[in-house]
């Protein structure tokens, strides 16, 4: 498919989806929302890990308020329900691991687009900004769901109300992201992390995602039952047999994936 607002690369099990409106700091318009959602489903059929990143100096600066004319006439309820929700669910529910490689500012919906990924790796010069209250709105694109779960209610509330910049290092310290990396090592680092996942046990990774993402509304007993079921499925895979054999033979495992 020919994309207008993103680029897609797939090689050796690694899929890279790059938000590609650098002149707009990768602000999200209707075309991008549709393309990201479609591409996530398509790449997941071919790759074993997907990385989302941004072209140019920004990761994503959120909703393009100039998309379609007068920003005050945007039907936010419809746009969030019909366009943002399918895109975000495609990222969260992706059957393979997802990494947000945050190369620069991630603001508004762009911050929450990054937080939708399984793992967030940010360059130290990047920052996160829940900018919504600056223009009289509330965090959207999943921000009210992701932030309390990742950093707790107190910090999520402060981030939403004050709309302060959160540096990559601060986000790392808070547990909002997996890690902040020096700018000069950033590209090589996220690629190495992605390559590691691309060579790993795909079925087990999918089960990890299912178990952890669904755990928040479960009792301990319910979660233990889910763990038992998913572990039973993993224990019947070729990857598990290969992992045990590699352990016994003291060699790296060669996982086949799907």
pLDDT score recorded for residue 74? 83
Distance CA 131, CA 127 (A): 12
Burial-class residue 69 by CB neighbours within 10 Å (0-12, 13-18, 19+).
Answer: exposed
pLDDT score recorded for residue 257? 66
Q: In sequence order, what DSSP letters do the residues of 25-70 get, joined into one string? A: TT-B-HHHHHHHHHHHHHHHTT-SEEEEEESTT-SB--B-TTTTS-
164: left (phi over 0), alpha (psi -120 to 50) or beta: beta
Range 32-60 average pLDDT: 97
Could you report how far apart the first and last alpha carbons of the chain are, in Å? Answer: 23
Residue 106, SS3 per DSSP: strand
Express each pLDDT in 186-238 by its tens digit: 999 999 999 999 999 999 999 999 999 999 999 999 999 999 999 999 999 99
Q: What pTM, to 2 d.p., does this model score?
A: 0.94
Range 107-136 average pLDDT: 97
| Structure confidence at residue 258 as a pLDDT band (50, 70, 90) | low
| Structure confidence at residue 16 as a pLDDT band (50, 70, 90) | very high
Domains in the chain with CATH codes: 6-198 (3.90.226.10), 202-249 (1.10.12.10)
| Structure confidence at residue 67 as a pLDDT band (50, 70, 90) | confident
**Is-contact 49 96, C-beta < 8 A?**
yes
Range 107-116 average pLDDT: 97
pLDDT score recorded for residue 218? 95
| Structure confidence at residue 31 as a pLDDT band (50, 70, 90) | very high
Burial-class residue 151 by CB neighbours within 10 Å (0-12, 13-18, 19+).
Answer: buried
- Tokens 């707009």 belong to 24
- What's the distance, CA 214 to chain centroid? 16
Range 72-80 average pLDDT: 89
CB-based contacts of 43, cutoff 8 Å, min separation 6: 8, 10, 15, 17, 50
What is the average pLDDT value for the chain, to the nearest integer? 95
Residue 140, SS3 per DSSP: coil
pLDDT score recorded for residue 94? 96
Tell me 177's DSSP state: S
CB-based contacts of 49, cutoff 8 Å, min separation 6: 13, 14, 15, 96, 97, 98, 99, 194, 197, 198
pLDDT score recorded for residue 73? 80
């Amino acid at each position: 498919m020919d994309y207008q607002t993103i680029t897609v690369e797939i090689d050796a099990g690694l899929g890279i989806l790059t938000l590609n409106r650098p002149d707009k700091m990768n602000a999200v318009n209707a075309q991008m929302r549709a393309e990201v959602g479609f591409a996530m489903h398509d790449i997941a059929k071919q790759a074993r890990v997907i990385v989302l990143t941004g072209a140019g100096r920004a990761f994503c600066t959120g909703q393009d308020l100039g998309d379609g004319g007068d920003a005050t006439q945007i039907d936010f309820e419809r746009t969030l329900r019909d366009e943002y929700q399918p895109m975000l669910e495609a990222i969260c529910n992706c059957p393979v691991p997802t990494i947000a490689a945050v190369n620069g500012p991630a603001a508004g919906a762009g911050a929450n687009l990054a937080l939708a990924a399984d793992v967030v790796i940010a360059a130290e010069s990047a920052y996160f900004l829940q900018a919504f209250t600056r223009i009289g709105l509330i965090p959207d694109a999943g921000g009210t769901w992701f932030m309390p779960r990742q950093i707790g209610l107190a910090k999520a509330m402060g981030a939403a109300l004050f709309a302060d910049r959160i540096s990559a290092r601060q986000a790392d310290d808070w547990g909002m992201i997996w890690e902040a990396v020096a700018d000069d090592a950033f590209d090589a680092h996220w690629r190495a992390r992605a390559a590691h996942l691309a060579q790993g046990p795909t079925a087990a990774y999918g089960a990890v995602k299912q178990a952890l993402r669904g755990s928040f509304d479960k009792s301990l007993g319910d979660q233990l039952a889910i763990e038992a079921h998913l572990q039973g499925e993993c224990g019947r895979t070729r990857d598990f047999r290969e992992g045990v054999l590699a352990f016994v033979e003291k060699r790296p495992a060669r996982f086949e994936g799907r």
